[in-house]
Structure 1
Amino acid sequence: MSLFSHIRRFTTGAITALAFVSVSAMAQTKPNVVILATGGTIAGAGASSTNSATYSAAKVPVDKLISGIPELSQVANVRGEQVFQIASESLTNADLMTLGKRVSALVKQSDVDGIVITHGSDTLEETAYFLNLVIKTDKPIVVVGSMRPSTAMSADGMLNLYNAVQVAGSKDARGRGVLVTMNDDINTARDVSKSINIHTNAFNSQWGALGMIVEGKNYWFRTLDKRHTKSSEFNIDSISELPRVDIVYGHQDGDTVAAKAYGTSGAKAIIHAGTGNGSVAKQVVQTLQELRAQGVIIIRSARVPAGFVLRNAEQPDDKYDWVVAHDLNAQKARILAMVALTKTSDTKELQRIFWQY
């Protein structure tokens, strides 16, 4: 073999080795993000591209979701796990516990920098808030869904998921609690709620978004001044079961049938989603007092989408030994009540928790 051939072989090998090292180094510098899939519209499919509201949820497996967005590999080293394949309205407390314990295990791993959870939009805010309360980490946890199935024209799931992975792998997202990224907004799990069931801008917070994602970059505008994740006194690892908490919805000509039924069915607390400032109809007050005397915690929330319930306004909460949910809607008040009741049933302590979380 000639000297030229030796030189050419050496040079080619060196270039190949350098290229391998370069690719390997790039992979190491990218964050490692795990996508936990639970189903929902983001994994849904319609009969045609014009079906944006009529479709079957929870059809597309996580590996197919990931492979359908090759751009994900540009922002993170991504791997997926299929935890459930469920429409989110059918999720149970047991499912919440399963998901929470898996997230808790993953955030303890040094090779995991962030977690994305794909979820149906119907109860996304409840799961996100639950994780915000019980996962002890400052690593980004992002819950994401979509309002249109992947088969629809102008489907929103691809960009939502791409943004979620980008946020989950971002150092500037650390310590901000569990986040919800949809329609380019970054919302805190604590405040966000689904406000419309048709449009892609379905998730909003009455206190405003934390930030936005524009072309793969995070822009932050505020922080959350409530306890969450690493600063929370709750830990999924020490919770074995969630107590039963039910919601009673206030309306004209309301009666006591639902409250009594929940009380006799083993509810540890009842969230009363009252009118206005958490008002309770006069014909319902006595029944709630009786349930409290039997040991059931009564928590006043409101059915209105914004504002907050004032303690001892509308009802004498101190006198009745009731708790107010502050600005949490009924479904989030239920989540916090379940978690809080794993530690205490003292109403003064419960009220402190509702102020702080």
Structure 2
Amino acid sequence: MTEKANIIVIGTGGTIAGQGKAAINTSAYLCSVLGIDEILRTIPHASALANLRAEQLLQTGSENFNNEHLLAIGRRVSRLLAQDDVDGVVITHGTDTIEETAYFLHLTLKSAKPVVVVGSMRPPSAMSSDAALNLYDAIAVAAHPSSRGIGTLVVANDEIHTARDVVKSNSVKLEAFRSPYGALGHVIEGQPRYYRRPWRAHTLDTPWSIDTLGALPKVDIVYAYGALAPDAVNAIASRARGLIYVGTGNGNVAEHLIEPLRDAARRGVHVVRASRTGNGIVLRNGAQPDDEYGWLTVEDQIPPKARILLTLALTQADDMQALQVAFERY
């Protein structure tokens, strides 16, 4: 008989820890009120998958998470993964920023052991809640040997996604999570089935370690719209080392905003063109002469994850070429 894996389940709050007044409250409920032990008691059959231990690290909606929260989660997970009696970690998390936390861990953890981040679109108290099955599936994925060495994963709606690609794309539907190149695999009857592996470098193959990271540099995001004024761009850029400019289409920049962004770059702010479309590649020197202006491009990354990547890249590099390579490699 195969020995069961030892899995730590970390609670941080979110909808998966929420509770509504009635079963019909699928979208109106109190967030982050159930402890991780209470949530695990709703799936007693998960004990057949692994030896489980639980701990409550945070208890808040993920919309509140900042750089300090990411560092705290990463450091705790890293310490657990370093223990010989721990085979993997599952993190219950609010869905609002689940892809950002997962991507941060994907880039900074130095272990091949599985780490799975999981949330739910409906609280456990709601009819047809996805909380119990998502958590059960996440434990199944973390406990399975095929999940080793492929970075941080997000499990939702029977699908297994790589942290690099996954995006929350709907505010209420159960099928809210998608990856532009498809899921890595699926969970069927408690068994993960993989069909592809992440291609971009992660975990052991990145230069960033959660164990040595200190305070993170400030990187902000500015979202383009028709009436965006230069003063707003100047105000945001004045406080940042990096600025993700979320342009229209292929990262387009309106004529009246080119000079404010060029000024920011001259002052040493790393300006990165992204797209508000939510999908596709921002082509370097395509919509704008990036080399001439001293700007970077996100390649195919969405703005919130581009912020995570630039934040990490700035802890080790400050020249434009090295920073652009980071967007092309990770």
TM-score, length of structure 2 as denominator length: 0.98
From 178, 183, 197, the counterpart of 2:152: 178
Which one of the candidate residues 186, 193, 201 is aligned to 1:219?
A: 193
User: Is the aligned partner of 1:89 residue 2:90?
Assistant: no
Structure 1 position 231, deviation (Å):
1.1
1:287 aligns with 2:287: no
Which of 126, 145, 163 lines up with 1:152 in the alignment? 126
**Offset at residue 253 of structure 1 (A):** 2.8
Residues 95-130 of structure 1: CA deviation (Å, up to 9, x unaligned): 111111001111111111010010000000000000
Task: Give, in angstroms, the shift of residue 252 of structure 1.
Answer: 1.5
Partner amino acid for 1:32?
N
One-letter code aligned to 1:120 = G
Residue 278 in structure 1 maps to residue 251 in structure 2: yes
Of Structure 1 and Structure 2, the greater helix share is in 1
Q: Residue 237 of structure 1: SS of its match in structure 2?
A: coil
Task: Trace 1:1-357 onto structure 2 (pairs within 5 A).
Answer: 29-264=3-238, 266-357=239-330
TM-score of the two chains, using structure 1 as the length reference: 0.91
Distance 2:54 2:71 in 1: 19
Q: Which residue identity does 2:329 align to in structure 1?
A: Q
Give the C-alpha shift of residue 301 in structure 1: 0.6
Partner SS state of residue 221, structure 2: strand
Matching residue of 1:12:
none
Let me know the Cα RMSD of the aligned residues: 0.9
Per the TM alignment, residue 69 of structure 1 is displaced from its structure 2 partner at its CA by: 1.0
The one-letter code sitting in structure 2 at the alignment partner of 1:50 is I
Question: For each residue in 1:47-80, what CA deviation from the matched residue of structure 2 results, as whole angstroms up to 9, or x when unmatched?
Answer: 1100000011101001111122101100000111
What is the CA distance between 1:223 and its match in structure 2?
A: 1.0
SS at match of 1:54: coil
Q: Is the 8 A contact 1:259 1:270 kept in 2?
A: no
* Distance in structure 1 (CA, Å) of the matches to 2:261 and 2:123: 43
Q: Check the 8 A contact 1:42/1:118 in 2, yes or no.
A: yes
Q: Rg larger in 1 or in 2?
A: 1
Q: CA–CA distance in 2 between the matches of 1:257 and 1:48? A: 47
Greater displacement, 244-253 / 171-180:
244-253
1:198 to partner: Cα distance = 1.0
One-letter identity of the residue aligned with 2:260 = T
Amino-acid identity (%): 46
Q: Distance in 1 between matches of 2:230 and 2:244?
A: 13
Matched letter for residue 282 of structure 1: E
SS in 2 for 1:29: coil
The code of the aligned residue for 1:351 comes to Q
Deviation of 1:233 (Å): 1.3
Q: Is the 8 A contact 1:254 1:281 kept in 2?
A: no
Whole-angstrom CA distance in 2 between matches of 1:48 and 1:256: 48
Q: Secondary structure at the match of 2:7?
A: strand
SS at match of 2:211: helix
Residue 56 of structure 1 aligns with an amino acid whose one-letter code is L
* Unmatched runs of 5 consecutive residues or more in structure 1: 1-25
Amino acid at match of 2:322: E
C-alpha contact (below 8 Å) 1:35/1:78 kept by paired residues: yes
Report the alpha carbon displacement of residue 354 of structure 1 after superposing the two structures with TM. Answer: 0.4
State the secondary structure of the residue aligned to 1:121.
coil
Shift of 1:254: 2.1
Residue 156 of structure 1: how far off its partner (Å): 0.4
